[in-house]
Amino acid sequence: MTSIMRRIADLFRLKVGKALDRAEDPREVLDYSYEKQLDLVQKVRRGLADVATSRKRIELQLTQLTQSSTKLEDQARQALATGREDLAREALSRRAAVTSQITDLQAQQVSLQAEEEKLTLASQRLQEKVDAFRTRKETIKASYTAAEAQTRISEAVTGISEEMGDIGTAMQRAQDKTEQLQDRAGALDELMASGALEDATLPAGRDDIQAQLDAASEGHDIEADLARMKAQLSAGPADAPALGTGRPATAPGERPATS
Amino acid sequence: MIVRILGEGQYTLADEHLRELNALDSRLKDAVDAGDESEFTATLRALLAAVRRLGTPLPADALTTSELVLPDEDMSLAQVSALLGDEGLIPGL
């Protein structure tokens, strides 16, 4: 068996050789190869758009999870301030789950970004090669003589075929990475929807922890208002300061807790 | 001599460096035959580093056939085996 690097090089030449053998006129191979290249450039552009969309989705989820994490930390502080250590513990355990998701997502985002950059560079290189190939193709066709055609065409097509092999592997890797991330992003969306991961983007973000905190602080507000009223009554009818506004009573958490 | 690193581009190397590349390439082949992933990864990295160190990159619009083609750094042993076994990883002409 020959060496690895020679065998891979031979594979490209072999493919070109077969294509040339099949063609009645080698110039057909040039045209056909050019069509394939244009197709590939289109595919790469679409692939890049997919990768970018995936990356943006991940970034959006990271933003949401970061907001959730901040909110849960605030709730833990608020719970501790009102003497509800049980609630604070619950909020912090949810925050730990969110933090772990953030760490995983950040790693995925970095690797997707790297694939995207690689693919962008590869596609720019491919575009330059395709332009060079078109020029060479027309030159070969214009000065075509059967005797020299086979060699010159074989060289030109093998060169571009290697380049297409390059971009083919880069595309495959980026697509694999994107699919993994899309599955992951879908799973995260479901977790957020179920409430297992707190989604801070919901309107007003009223969850079960917040509802309990509000109920606890309402009690405090009412007591404080009563104390102020009593103080005003015993002081006589002077210019009474406005009463502190207790929070309006609220319905229990709109979303079930699923911790 | 023109050497291509898949996914990266082509390099021109003087023929006198071929002995060094061949020695590493033999080790790479043994690793593939033995199915030794860690040896494969380490040897492939050494081989690519040698090409980058000893070679000069070809301009992006150059269109030249490569005498040698190397897998890129991220390719696994399984992917390289697939590449050698059939032409699945190379888009058809």
* pLDDT tens readout for residues B38-63: 999 999 999 999 999 999 999 988 88
Other Cβ atoms less than 10 A from the Cβ of A251: the count is: 7
Where chain B has pLDDT below 70, the residues are 86-93
Q: What is the pLDDT of residues A30-59, one digit of tens each?
A: 998 899 899 989 988 888 888 888 888 889
For A69, A180, A257, the CA distances from A208, given in Å and listed in that order, are 16, 33, 6
Which one of A1, A5, A16, A118 makes the best mutation probe of the B interface by having the most chain B beta carbons within 10 Å? A5
Cβ contacts below 8 Å, chain A against chain B, sum to 118
Q: Rounded CA gap, A170 and A155, in Å?
A: 23
CB-nearest partner of A11 from B67, B79, B87? B87
Q: Rounded CA gap, B70 and B51, in Å?
A: 10
For A113, A183, A188, A198, B46, the CA distances from A191, given in Å and listed in that order, are 24, 12, 5, 9, 44
Q: Does A183 touch chain B (CB under 8 A)?
A: no
Q: What distance, in Å, lies between the first and last C-alpha atoms of chain B?
A: 24
The half-sphere exposure of A117 on its side-chain side, counting CA atoms within 13 A, is 6
Residues of A in contact with B3 (CB under 8 A): 5
The minimum CA-CA distance between B73 and chain A, rounded to whole Å, is 12
The pLDDT assigned to A89 comes to: 87
Where chain A has pLDDT below 70, the residues are 1-2, 146-147, 194-207, 217-226, 228-230, 236-259
Residues of B in contact with A166 (CB under 8 A): 4, 6-9
Q: Rounded CA gap, A221 and A236, in Å?
A: 23
